[in-house]
Structure formats: C-alpha cells, structure tokens
Chain A
Amino acid sequence: MPVGKMTSTILKTLGKKPSTRRYPSVKRTTFTGARGKIVIDLPGCIYCGICMRRCPADAIVTSIKEKTWSMDHFKCVNCKSCVELCPKKCLYMELEQATPSLKRTGQEPSLKNA
C-alpha cells in the first residue's frame, strides 16, 4: 500500500521559496485589462445618468440639476458596464482594485464641476 505519496512533492518544495507573497509590502503585478477601480474624468461628464440607470449594484448616483456624480466604491461590483456604456468615454477603470478602508464612507466622494 503506497504510504506518503505526498513526500516527494513536500521534499521538492522544501528548498523553494514560499508560493505566497507578504501582501501589503509585496504587491502582485496587475494584468492588462484587469477590472480594478472606477475613476471618472469629471470635466468630460455630461451627467446623462446612463451609468446610474444601468449599474447592477446601484452604486452610482448622478444629478444633472446639481451637476454631481458620486459613487459608492463599497457597492461597486467591478462589472465595468458603466465604462462600456459611457457615451463620452469619461469613465475608465484602474488596474489596481480599491484599497480596504476602516470606515464605510457611503456615497462619498461626491464630485462637482466648478
């Protein structure tokens, strides 16, 4: 009966470095086209509200009257549909994901054109 089939794998990996990273200090390189965090180039925005209506997580709130665009990054599910639907192409996605936070900031940051 074969016992210790795992031994050869264990011996092989003993001399190697760990497969894991020490995360906050060593970060993984991102892939091109990865879905990270939504960023808006506000001067380009016309507040049409398409991103708000089509967001599956209801994370975006826009107001054409007050000329504001705000997004709750904790609600965002990184589907990238707003980036694809934006008629002015002023939304884009960073490769790095949003960092964790100690506070749930809700609807902030609300952005307003001067």
Chain B
Amino acid sequence: MGKQTIIPFGPQHPVLPEPIHLDLVCEDEKVVDVIPKIGFVHRGLEKLIEKKEFLDFVHIADRVCGICSFIHGMTYCLAIEGVMNIEVPPRAQYLRVIWSEFSRIHSHLLWLGLTADAFGFEALFMNSWRIREHILDIIEETTGGRVIFGACKVGGVRRDISADKLKDVLNELKDIEAQMHECADVFLKDSSVKSRLKGVGILSKEDAYKLGAVGPMLRASGVPYDVRMSGYAAYKELNFIPVVENTCDSYGRCVVRIRELFESCRLIRDAVAKIPDGPLESKVVGFPKGEYFARAEQPRGEVVYYVKADGTKFLKRFRVRTPTFANLPPLLKILVGCQLADVPILVLTIDPCISCAER
C-alpha cells in the first residue's frame, strides 16, 4: 500500500459549478476513498412553507432549481392537486408535457456542453450551448421566462400556446433537431470523446438498483425505470418508452441523454398533434387537508414532493427529494478506484445540481 494523500475537491472548482466538497483519499493517482460534505447552500424551504400560502409557494418551488424549474413547480402542483382532488383540464396536462420536455432538452444540452467543457472540448461545448439558446428562445416565447418558466399553477397552467404558435414551435424544433443530430454525432462517434468516457465510472445494474440511483444514471446501467411510465400529466396518452443503455459507464450515460433529446422531440410532436382544446385551469376551492407524495421525472431523475396540510392556507410539512440527492451514493461508488483526472467527469456524469439537493 502506497502513501495516502487527501486531496480536497470543491466546493469551488474550475470544472465544477456546484458547491459540493469531496475529500478524495488518493494513493498516487488512484482514488481509494471519498468523503462527501454538503450543506454549503442550504436555504431552509421546509421552514419557509410555514409562512407562505400554498398557492404562492409554487413560485418558490419553481425556483428550487435553476435548470429543471418547470418540473419542480409542476410536481409541487401535482402534490397539492393530489391532496385536494383537483382534476386538471386535459389541455393543461398536455401543455405541462410540452414544457416538461422542452425543459428536458435544454437541461440535457446544458449537460452535454458542460461535459464537453470538462474534458476540454471547447468547440463542442460552445456548439451544444448554441443549440440550447434556440430552445431557450422557444421557452421564453411560450412562457415568458427563459429558465424559470413560471407557467404552472395549482389546478392548471398560467399561459396558453395558440395553435399558430404551436405550429411555429414545431417548425423551429425541426431545424433544432437537425442541429442536434449533427452535435450528437460528434458525441457518439468522435474518438477523443470516447477515450474520455468509455469504460470510466462503471456502475453495475445491481449497484445502481441497490444504491437508489435515478434518472439517466440508472437507465445507463440497464434498469428500465422512468417515472414518466407511471403516466402523470398526459404521458399516459403518449406511449412513452424509457431509453435504456447497458454499458453501465459514463459513455452510456451520455448516450442515454442524447437519445432522450430525440425522445423528447418525439413526445413534443405527439403532444402537439393530440392536444385538445379546452379550459386551462380548474378552480381551486378551499384549503388542502391530508398528505400526499407526488413524483415526476426530471432531466436528472426522479423528484419526490411530500406535502402535509391541516386545512389552513399554510402547509404543515413539505419535503423534496431531488434526483441529485439520490444520485450521491452511486457517485461515491463510482469514484472509488478511478483516476484523479477522471473525478471531474465522473462528478458531472450524475448531472449534479447540489443547490437543488440542499433546498
């Protein structure tokens, strides 16, 4: 056994924009143990729920994460609608699916760019983010915000997309899809990308399942699990099939995310084709009473919202389990035994969003 050195990694690090601290115990260049530390950006949302009305809290839930904001807001609404037995109109359900999928595309493109940046492929990073910019424009056009959509409310949605606008969006999506194919080709076929990702950070199917991995991390290890299969919002009418890879490594996670980009485009097209006319929201009467768990699939994995209400306008308890929090144990598993130079890439493959993990 060689001499062991502890190398601190984060919370500030050139390739890691997220405030997580890892103590890497290294023998020469090999990582033999990892000790994580989180809690740098704790915001205390569980206390805040006691003094914000349940209808207004959706704006705060929207801001739990800066990337998958819409799905956070939507899951909070699903939880409240579950407690109060509110039936959401079908048009609102479909609009929620469309915005969720746009959110997924922009998050995955962001991740692809960051990954390219982490292994030093600057041109690919810029290219991914250039494509993402078009998606952000569509989002701003339809919701009013670029990354914080603010389009969801308890009982429905706040805005409608007109039929003409939907047609324009589909036309734009066609161009963007062509650009994404070109970009995805580089990720899937370029030898320099493969040499950094293939065979790095192996997480076996059993480990992924036992450690509770979620999202692309789980699906790249061959477990066909995606909360969208449960059919919340309008997913039950869109024949959703999860994207699964069996390579169990970082390259597999990259492939899952790339294939999900095109799956999301397919879902948006299907949703636009099937979207019915009708009201945008149901009226919310009274105050919630009871408790409810709501689950939804974010770009990073499964998010769980728990709410407990006692019949007043303030909720009693509220809890979020974000996908990054669930993906931390698998991250510690894949870091052990890797090379020190691979650590940034491996931390990025879980698509970390520590700020949303700490709430």
CA A30 to CA B296, docked complex, whole Å? 32
Given A34-B144, A56-B52, A5 and B150 touching (CB < 8 A)? no
Q: Is A31 an interface residue (CB 8 A)?
A: yes
Q: Is B185 an interface residue (CB 8 A)?
A: yes
Q: Evaluate contact between A5 and B52: CB separation under 8 angstroms.
A: no
Q: Evaluate contact between B53 and A54: CB separation under 8 angstroms.
A: yes
Q: Is B127 an interface residue (CB 8 A)?
A: yes
Stretch from B56-64, B297-305, B317-325 contacting the other chain: B56-64
Interface residues as binary, A1-44 with B (CB distance below 8 Å gives 1, 0 otherwise): 11111101110000000010000000000010111000000000
Which residue of chain B lies nearest to A54 when distances are taken between CB atoms in the complex? B56
Could you tell me which residues of chain B, from 119 to 168, have a CB within 8 Å of some CB in chain A? 121, 123-124, 127, 130, 133, 137, 140-141, 144-145, 148, 150, 158-159
Which residue of chain A lies nearest to B186 when distances are taken between CB atoms in the complex? A5
Q: Evaluate contact between A6 and B150: CB separation under 8 angstroms.
A: no
Q: Evaluate contact between A9 and B127: CB separation under 8 angstroms.
A: yes
Q: Is B312 an interface residue (CB 8 A)?
A: no
- Interface of A, secondary structure class, is loop
Given A35-B144, A54-B53, A3 and B190 touching (CB < 8 A)? yes
Q: Is B189 an interface residue (CB 8 A)?
A: yes
CA A6 to CA B141, docked complex, whole Å? 31
Q: Is A111 an interface residue (CB 8 A)?
A: no
Which residue of chain A lies nearest to B52 when distances are taken between CB atoms in the complex? A56
Determine the chain A residues whose CB is within 8 A of the CB of B121 once the complex forms: 6
Q: Is B246 an interface residue (CB 8 A)?
A: no
Q: Evaluate contact between A3 and B191: CB separation under 8 angstroms.
A: yes
Which residue of chain B lies nearest to A34 when distances are taken between CB atoms in the complex? B144
Q: Evaluate contact between B190 and A5: CB separation under 8 angstroms.
A: yes
Q: Evaluate contact between A33 and B182: CB separation under 8 angstroms.
A: no
Determine the chain B residues whose CB is within 8 A of the CB of A9 once the complex forms: 123, 127, 182-183, 186
Determine which of A6, A34, A35, A56 lies in contact with B123 in the assembled complex, contact meaning CB atoms within 8 Å: A6
Within the complex, the shortest CB–CB distance from A34 to chain B, in Å, comes to: 5
Stretch from A63-71, A76-84, A101-109 contacting the other chain: A76-84
Within the complex, the shortest CB–CB distance from B293 to chain A, in Å, comes to: 24
- Interface of B, secondary structure class, is helix
CA A3 to CA B159, docked complex, whole Å? 46
Q: Evaluate contact between B190 and A56: CB separation under 8 angstroms.
A: no
Which residue of chain A lies nearest to B190 when distances are taken between CB atoms in the complex? A5
CA A78 to CA B185, docked complex, whole Å? 38
CA A5 to CA B150, docked complex, whole Å? 39
Within the complex, the shortest CB–CB distance from A29 to chain B, in Å, comes to: 10
Determine the chain A residues whose CB is within 8 A of the CB of B124 once the complex forms: 6
Determine the chain B residues whose CB is within 8 A of the CB of A2 once the complex forms: 189-191
Q: Evaluate contact between B182 and A79: CB separation under 8 angstroms.
A: no
Q: Evaluate contact between A77 and B144: CB separation under 8 angstroms.
A: no
Determine the chain A residues whose CB is within 8 A of the CB of B62 once the complex forms: 79
Which residue of chain B lies nearest to A93 when distances are taken between CB atoms in the complex? B144
CA A19 to CA B137, docked complex, whole Å? 13
CA A46 to CA B57, docked complex, whole Å? 25
Q: Is B192 an interface residue (CB 8 A)?
A: yes
Determine the chain B residues whose CB is within 8 A of the CB of A4 once the complex forms: 190
Give 21 pairs: A residue, B residue, CB < 8 Å, sorted on A: A3-B190, A8-B182, A31-B141, A31-B144, A33-B141, A33-B144, A34-B140, A34-B145, A35-B144, A35-B145, A54-B53, A56-B52, A56-B56, A56-B57, A77-B63, A78-B150, A79-B59, A79-B62, A79-B150, A81-B56, A81-B59
Residues of B with Cβ closer than 8 Å to A? 52-53, 56-57, 59-60, 62-63, 121, 123-124, 127, 130, 133, 137, 140-141, 144-145, 148, 150, 158-159, 182-183, 185-186, 189-192
Query: What 10 A-B pairs are tightest by C-beta distance, nearest first?
Result: A56-B59, A5-B190, A79-B59, A35-B144, A5-B186, A1-B191, A31-B141, A2-B189, A19-B130, A33-B144
